[in-house]
Chain A
Amino acid sequence: MSRVIGRPRRRVDARAKVTGQTRFADDVILPRMLHCKLLRSTVPHARIVRIDTARAAAHPGVHLVLTGEAFPVPYGVLPVSHDEHALCPDKVRFVGDPVAAVIARDEATADQAVHLIDVEYEPLRTFAAPEDSLAHAEPRIHDYGDGGNVHRAVALQFGDVDAAIDGADHVFDDVFFFEGNTHLPIEQHAAVAATDPDGKLVVWSSTQTPHYLHRSLAKALQMPAAHIRVIATPNGGGFGGKSDPFNHEIVVAGAALLLDRPVKICLTREEVFYCHRGRHPVLMRFRTGVTRDGRITGVDLQTLLDGGAYGSYGVASTFYTGALQTVTYDVPTYRFRGCRVFTNKPPCGPKRGHGTPQARFGQEVQLDKIAERLQVDPADLRLNILAPANTLTANFLRIGTMGLGECVRRVVASAGWGDKFRRLPRGHGVGLACSSYLSGAGLPINWNDLPHSGVQLKLDRSGGVTAFCGATEIGQGSDDVLVAVVAEVLGIEPFDVRAVTGDTDLTPVDLGSYSSRVTLMMGNAAIEAATRARDLLAQAVSRKLEIPVARVTFADRRVFDAEAPDRGVTFADAVCMAEAQFGTIGTTGSYTPPRSEAKFKGGGVGPSPTYSYTAAIVEVEVDPVTGWIVVPAVWIAHDVGRALNPALVRGQVEGSVYMALGEALMEEQAFRRLPPRLSNALVHKFPSMLEYKSPTFLEMPDVHTDLVESMDPAGPFGAKEVGQGPLLPIMPALANAVYDAVGVRIDEVPITPEKILKALQLAAAGKPGRVGPAAFPDHVPWPEALRVTPPWEGGDGRASNEPPRRSRRKADAGVEATTGVRR
């Protein structure tokens, strides 16, 4: 019987948050602390000819000035793209790339001194858009990748997709564009580094991934990881934007070691726009074969990603644009080709939904077009082609429970879809779309056989329990999940459990708060640790009560005989009995996802222990005269497996809707390329919270949230993810609603009044009422596709034409125990 799980509760960290007691990274203030400012490039692409730091170093109050030579070792989050330096050693790749650092007595002094550094640049060609990068192989932005300025080009084929599409009753061929956008967390990134009394390095940072920061610090600073402690402070929002190891973190760490004093940096909002790692702009083409009764025969997808200036998670992002189409709908044959190019802009990376919202937009809008052509209700069309539960997809992803059908039925009922779709007066419309998302990446970034999450428990004689885990609280409620799971298993209250999280000295590794992995992976590890502790207590109490262990029950802070509930002891007494019998009570639990059945290169992106599902209906009001668009209401149903704390689950759903509406309606990580005949400049159009438009409360519609509980056996108490999936259907549902309202297609996001009015004018002039990209480039250098036979044709998950691969272990090696921040 659940006493904690499944009940809406106030989250454990709520009190600290609302009373201002949460200590964010910028709240860390240490004695003798110095402050750091970075000098960032003002040119988009150039060789560094000379840096003169003499005036800055001589400025009163300046303790240290650093340039690229202090940090010769590159790093990066993925082993395949260690292409970043803490400070650029020889060239800069975008406006905002850091070239020097000043450490001074206070921030104002550091700020003054930064402006005393003179940098001479030798400009190189500016690459502003993917088309530039495809057209010009030289100069290369990086000297690695798949040739020229192509970072990575991949091609995968599952079954005879060409025959399947050619033989279809209808072929739909559509091109879509999804503009880049950024995370916009309220908290700017901040980090403090210090040496502890015995000389080891400590770094506090607003990071979602202390483990990867730990590894990157060890590599970039050439220090033993055991001599570095990373403490992830609670994040004031992450959304993927704090998942990379960042240059500013490495700079303050190096400076603290050199000066033996604490050093802090807190980025400005503009600098956060330059950290970016947000949504990739993606141009995509979907060719889909469909039978006359609306079944998909095959999908041929091409995506072109504007990666910006560095690798970041980009290789994974590229694969993610093609990974999850098959998990939502039954796609019997499939080809995916993805290409990521470098450009001279802040690097793109993972933002909520990581690589999947772009192609999800394309697929869901195309399905709306298919339904229109076949004259089928879009809800019925989807219900007819759902990917079946507990099956293996064409690309060897293992589907667990699958509640999408129920989600669709729920929103159709709650929104009154049948009375609205194609029935509202002109200017009013509804649109529907669906999605799926991972509940944690099935493979680690650094390939190894180690658990993805570990939990340690310490049981105290007082009856208190401390749960240690490397997971990071980024606002999503992971601390609450940890204490709730432990409390549920041990029959105590969440308030009796103390969470110690995100500290590499104190907590076992959890890979981090990304890929919607924490609830499932940490939750399973916590269940294992708590069950082991409960078993010890149960043995001790069974001996005391002289009953079989199986009858020992835990609830209401008591441990008692299930058949005679009055016979029992307090939880605290049970801990003492167990400690007397077994010694100090500490247990561990860990979680490793099941092995993926995809054995081909690239098959590492997409597998997950299970997938969440979402369906959404968006209602819009569009003014046919101006194109002005208002969203009065959203209905959304999400298959979360099991809602551990429904209050937090609803919060995640509504937060996703909010963020998605921003992407759908207004957010753009846009750039200005000045006229090339006059300037090389390429700048972020508006790196500020005022001009980068994101919705306010006044734009937020009524959101009707429905939770579907499919009780997935892979998840803790049946839970799946909720942090990212509910974002995905909103953008395409909104595009489909605009079509329902005024009959025009906006095949790109954001969907703005200007675009709607333009499409309406085109339609009025007798042309196709559509705004969107005209074509997908035909000169992308695709490699030969890896051919994988789908499981139902006898495939074993391997590619038939794959060359031998290097050892998986190799990427994990190479952290050497030599010291060396060079001054």
Chain B
Amino acid sequence: MMRLPAFSYRAPRTLRDAASWLADAGRDAMVLAGGTDVLPNMKRRQQTPATLIALRGVRELGAIGSEPGAAVIGAAVTLNTLVRDERVRTRLPGLWQAALQVATPHLRSMATLGGNLCLDTRCTYYDQTYEWRKAIDFCLKKDGQICWVATSSPRCLAVSSTDTAPMLQALGARVRLVSAAGERELPLADLYQNDGMHYLTRRPDEILAHVLVPDEPGWRSTYWKLRRRGSFDFPVAAVAAAAQVDPEGRVAAVRLVAGAVASRPLAAPRAEALLAGERLTDERIAAAAHALYEVAKPMDNTDFELVWRKKMVTALATCALRELRGDDMREARQRLARQVL
């Protein structure tokens, strides 16, 4: 089997210890939550941290709580815990759908919300063993000089492959980062930048501690994911949508985010502007879906062909907006996701 490189393992019991040990360990340290992303990557030598600071024993990070108008979800809450939470399922259906479509049931027992938000960007030239990467003389993201996805690209084009981030961005979530120096809170949207290597604005000494999800009346949300199979696969395109619809059926507020078609979740302000204050008619939905299509920039580094993936953004956005309108989308969902959501 593939073997892990040697590393030190530290298991703090408090967030304070975790932050201070992370600061002490310096640049060669990484945070470990469920390990479903970091450990396979370490086996492939994509990351070789000298120290892993494990968050499993930090109780403050493992609970789902409340603040006025918001759910507060600990970053170390597993995805299975998240999807079994009654409030998430009923009040934040988009988040429930997104979390339920991450990987497999087994992996979701280990994988955490924080881990999915910080998920390393993915690329078929990068998610390979050391020997495989040596055979292509490596790539920009790790050990190499060139981005093989687009050889003239000055930046890494690895793909943001998290399901929960686009949805939480659409829900207007905020995140709380904690370090030995203090803590800060920022919109989840600002946690990301469109660079496959430097895709997080998190400083190396910061721990993603909590996710604050607004839970306000009148909001509907949904998540539509494209992948080859109904289980296992990372998204290769996704649309997250959240809207506040008034009793007359007009869109009071809306956020649309495309996932897995760039190095970060992509907001679509033009699409949102097309919908604001309008009824969700077929024409409006088509126009907004097209605007989201134009935002998407898939490259040839995931499953499926990139031109088709981009086209699928239109289909996903149409489904998402129809679902927000109140259409019965269960049959279309069953065909695409191969499960009831």
* Inter-subunit contact B232/A40 (CB<8 Å): no
Known: A95-B135, A626-B311, A754-B305. A107 touches B3 (CB 8 A): yes
Does chain A have a CB within 8 A of B193?
A: no
Contacts of B335 in A (CB 8 A): 621, 623, 628, 630
* Inter-subunit contact B229/A754 (CB<8 Å): no
* Inter-subunit contact A695/B3 (CB<8 Å): no
* Inter-subunit contact A687/B1 (CB<8 Å): no
Does chain A have a CB within 8 A of B338?
A: yes
Contacts of B151 in A (CB 8 A): 675, 678
Interface residues of B in 108-151 (CB under 8 A from A): 124-125, 127-132, 134-137, 146, 148, 151
* Inter-subunit contact A696/B137 (CB<8 Å): no
Contacts of A108 in B (CB 8 A): 3
Does chain B have a CB within 8 A of A596?
A: no
A107 to B336, CA, bound (A): 42
A630 to B305, CA, bound (A): 18
A138 to B339, CA, bound (A): 53
* Inter-subunit contact B136/A698 (CB<8 Å): no
Rounded to whole Å, the gap between the CB of B32 and the closest CB of chain A is 20
* Inter-subunit contact B137/A681 (CB<8 Å): yes
The digit string for B1-36, where 1 denotes a CB below 8 A from any CB of A, is: 111000000000000000000000000000000000
* Inter-subunit contact A43/B135 (CB<8 Å): yes
* Inter-subunit contact B308/A753 (CB<8 Å): yes
B127's partner among A266, A683, A691 (CB-CB below 8 A) is A691
* Inter-subunit contact A685/B124 (CB<8 Å): yes
Contacts of B304 in A (CB 8 A): 752-754
Does chain B have a CB within 8 A of A776?
A: no
The digit string for B319-341, where 1 denotes a CB below 8 A from any CB of A, is: 00000000000000001101100
Does chain B have a CB within 8 A of A674?
A: yes
* Inter-subunit contact B311/A757 (CB<8 Å): yes
Contacts of A627 in B (CB 8 A): 308
Does chain A have a CB within 8 A of B315?
A: yes
A675 to B146, CA, bound (A): 12
* Inter-subunit contact A698/B2 (CB<8 Å): no
* Inter-subunit contact A699/B308 (CB<8 Å): no
* Inter-subunit contact B137/A626 (CB<8 Å): no
Known: A111-B3, A685-B124, A754-B304. A693 touches B229 (CB 8 A): yes
Contacts of B130 in A (CB 8 A): 115
Contacts of B336 in A (CB 8 A): 628
Does chain B have a CB within 8 A of A42?
A: yes
Which chain A residue has the least Cβ–Cβ distance from B300?
A: A672
Does chain A have a CB within 8 A of B194?
A: no
Which chain B residue has the least Cβ–Cβ distance from A692?
A: B303
A238 to B208, CA, bound (A): 45
A268's partner among B2, B124, B146 (CB-CB below 8 A) is B2
Contacts of B125 in A (CB 8 A): 672
A685 to B303, CA, bound (A): 10
The digit string for B227-246, where 1 denotes a CB below 8 A from any CB of A, is: 01111110000000000000
Does chain A have a CB within 8 A of B58?
A: no
Chain A CB within 10 Å, residue with most, of B127, B131, B230: B131
The digit string for B213-230, where 1 denotes a CB below 8 A from any CB of A, is: 000000000000000111
Interface residues of A in 26-72 (CB under 8 A from B): 40, 42-44
Does chain A have a CB within 8 A of B287?
A: no
* Inter-subunit contact A681/B135 (CB<8 Å): yes
Known: A107-B1, A687-B132, A691-B127. A696 touches B311 (CB 8 A): no
Which chain B residue has the least Cβ–Cβ distance from A758?
A: B308
* Inter-subunit contact B308/A268 (CB<8 Å): no
The digit string for B59-73, where 1 denotes a CB below 8 A from any CB of A, is: 000000000000000
Chain A CB within 10 Å, residue with most, of B130, B132, B312: B132
* Inter-subunit contact A679/B137 (CB<8 Å): yes
A626 to B148, CA, bound (A): 28
* Inter-subunit contact B315/A696 (CB<8 Å): no
Contacts of A753 in B (CB 8 A): 304, 308
A98 to B133, CA, bound (A): 17
A393 to B136, CA, bound (A): 50
B228's partner among A40, A111, A625, A693 (CB-CB below 8 A) is A693
Report how many residues on chain A are interfacial, defined by Cβ distance under 8 Å. 44
Rounded to whole Å, the gap between the CB of B51 and the closest CB of chain A is 19
Which chain A residue has the least Cβ–Cβ distance from B337?
A: A698
Rounded to whole Å, the gap between the CB of A315 and the closest CB of chain B is 29
A753 to B134, CA, bound (A): 33
Rounded to whole Å, the gap between the CB of A507 and the closest CB of chain B is 31
* Inter-subunit contact A696/B136 (CB<8 Å): no
A666 to B1, CA, bound (A): 26
* Inter-subunit contact B127/A698 (CB<8 Å): no
* Inter-subunit contact A693/B131 (CB<8 Å): no
Known: A628-B336, A698-B339. A679 touches B136 (CB 8 A): yes
A270 to B131, CA, bound (A): 10
Contacts of A621 in B (CB 8 A): 335
A345 to B109, CA, bound (A): 38
Contacts of A266 in B (CB 8 A): 1
The digit string for A668-708, where 1 denotes a CB below 8 A from any CB of B, is: 00001011001101011111101101011111000000000
Known: A627-B308, A698-B231, A754-B308. A683 touches B3 (CB 8 A): no
* Inter-subunit contact B338/A698 (CB<8 Å): yes
A291 to B339, CA, bound (A): 48
Contacts of B131 in A (CB 8 A): 40, 42, 270
* Inter-subunit contact B136/A683 (CB<8 Å): yes
A340 to B304, CA, bound (A): 29
A511 to B163, CA, bound (A): 50
Contacts of B135 in A (CB 8 A): 42-44, 95, 681, 683
Contacts of A268 in B (CB 8 A): 1-2, 129
A690 to B230, CA, bound (A): 13
Rounded to whole Å, the gap between the CB of B64 and the closest CB of chain A is 28
* Inter-subunit contact B315/A699 (CB<8 Å): no
Which chain A residue has the least Cβ–Cβ distance from B228?
A: A693
Rounded to whole Å, the gap between the CB of A110 and the closest CB of chain B is 9
Which chain B residue has the least Cβ–Cβ distance from A188?
A: B1
* Inter-subunit contact B3/A698 (CB<8 Å): no
* Inter-subunit contact B229/A699 (CB<8 Å): yes
Interface residues of B in 294-321 (CB under 8 A from A): 303-305, 307-308, 311-312, 315
Contacts of B228 in A (CB 8 A): 666, 693
A107 to B1, CA, bound (A): 8
Interface residues of A in 113-168 (CB under 8 A from B): 115
The digit string for B39-83, where 1 denotes a CB below 8 A from any CB of A, is: 000000000000000000000000000000000000000000000
* Inter-subunit contact B308/A693 (CB<8 Å): no
Which chain A residue has the least Cβ–Cβ distance from B338?
A: A698
Which chain A residue has the least Cβ–Cβ distance from B4?
A: A108
A628 to B312, CA, bound (A): 10
A695's partner among B229, B308, B312, B315 (CB-CB below 8 A) is B229
Rounded to whole Å, the gap between the CB of A186 and the closest CB of chain B is 14
A765 to B129, CA, bound (A): 44
* Inter-subunit contact A698/B230 (CB<8 Å): yes
Which chain B residue has the least Cβ–Cβ distance from A109?
A: B3
Which chain B residue has the least Cβ–Cβ distance from A26?
A: B1
A107 to B43, CA, bound (A): 14
Chain B CB within 10 Å, residue with most, of A42, A107, A697: A42
Rounded to whole Å, the gap between the CB of B269 and the closest CB of chain A is 26
Contacts of A684 in B (CB 8 A): 132
A40 to B1, CA, bound (A): 15
A683 to B151, CA, bound (A): 17
Task: Kindly list the 10 A-B residue pairs having the minimum CB-CB distance in the complex, ordered from nearest.
Answer: A698-B230, A754-B308, A42-B135, A698-B338, A754-B305, A108-B3, A42-B134, A681-B136, A696-B231, A693-B228
23 A–B contacts from the bound complex (CB under 8 Å): A42-B131, A44-B135, A95-B132, A108-B3, A111-B3, A266-B1, A268-B1, A625-B315, A626-B311, A630-B335, A674-B136, A678-B146, A681-B135, A683-B135, A684-B132, A688-B127, A688-B128, A690-B233, A691-B124, A691-B127, A696-B230, A754-B304, A754-B307
Taking A683-B135, A698-B229 as given, write out 12 further A-B residue pairs in contact, using a Cβ cutoff of 8 Å, ordered by the A residue number: A42-B131, A625-B315, A628-B336, A672-B124, A681-B136, A683-B136, A687-B128, A688-B128, A697-B231, A698-B230, A698-B339, A753-B304
